[in-house]
Amino acid sequence: MAPTAVSPTANHPVPALLKRHAAAPTSFSFDPIEDAFAAFQAGEFLVVMDSEDRENEGDLIIAASQCTTEKMAWMIKHTRFLSGYICIALPRERLDELEIPMMVADNQDPHRTAYTVTVDYKHGTTTGISASDRSATVRALASPDSRPSDFSRPGHMVPLRARAGGVLTRMGHTESAVDLCVLTGLPPAGVLCELVNDDPQGTMARRDDCRAFADRWGLKMISVEMLAEWRRTHPDIHTINST
C-alpha cells in the first residue's frame, strides 16, 4: 500500500500505522533506527538523509523487491516532492552478472555516483516508462532468477553500482539502499529518489524539509551516519530479524 498523507483534521480516522506521526514534532529528531529497519522490512518507504557537509540531501528509499506498481506510482505521482529521477542501487557483482556496464568510462560526478547503462524489463511491459513497467523492471533487477537477456538497453530505470562494504566504505544513498536491504534480509536492490521542495524553483529538500515530508506521509527518517554507526557497533550482525 502506498503512503497516505497524515491529516489531523481529516474526517476519517488516521490509520493505526500513521497515528504516531499525526502530531507535528516540536523539535527535530530522527526516528530510532530499529523502527526504520522494521518499517523497511515491511515494505515501507524510508527517508534517508546524508551529511550536511556532503550532498545535504534526503532520498526516499524502498526495497526493490517490495516496490509494487502502486508504490512506484506514488513515487512518480508526487513529483512536486521528488526529483523524479528514480534509480535502483545494486551490488557490483549483480550488475556484472546481468551484464549492465557503467554509463561512462570516466566518471566525473562530484561524489562518484556510479551510474550504469539504463534498462527496461522486456517481459509484460510496453514502453518502460509507466509505473507498472518501472516497478516490473526494479523487481526483475532484484530477482536472483533474472538473466541479462531479460532486459533491454537503454531503458527507463537507472541502476547504480554500490561499493563493496556499503556505507562503511562510501557514505552514500546508493550504499545505504543496498545495506538496508541486506540488513533486513531482502534481495540487495533498493529503489531511491532525491527529495525536492514544493516551491517554484524546485529547490533541494534539506534536513527540516525532509522531516516535514516524512511526518506528512507517516514515514520513518534516518541518516546515512546512523546506518554506518549501527553497522560499526554491530559488526557481527548481518541480518536483522525485525518481525
Residues annotated as catalytic are 55, 59, 87, 115, 120, 156, 173, 194
Residues 75, 81: Cα–Cα separation, whole Å: 9
Secondary structure class of 13 (helix, strand, coil): coil
* CA dihedral over 116, 117, 118, 124, signed as positive or negative: negative
Residue 82 · residue 194 · CB < 8 Å: yes
φ/ψ (deg, to 5) at 237: -100, 115
Residue 60 · residue 195 · CB < 8 Å: yes
Residues sharing a CB contact under 8 Å with residue 150, sequence separation 6 or more, in sequence order: 121, 122, 123, 140
Question: CA 82, 239, 95 angle in degrees (round to 5)?
Answer: 55
Run of H or E residues at 70: helix 69-77
The total number of residues written for the chain in this structure: 243
Residue 185 · residue 239 · CB < 8 Å: yes
Residues sharing a CB contact under 8 Å with residue 53, sequence separation 6 or more, in sequence order: none
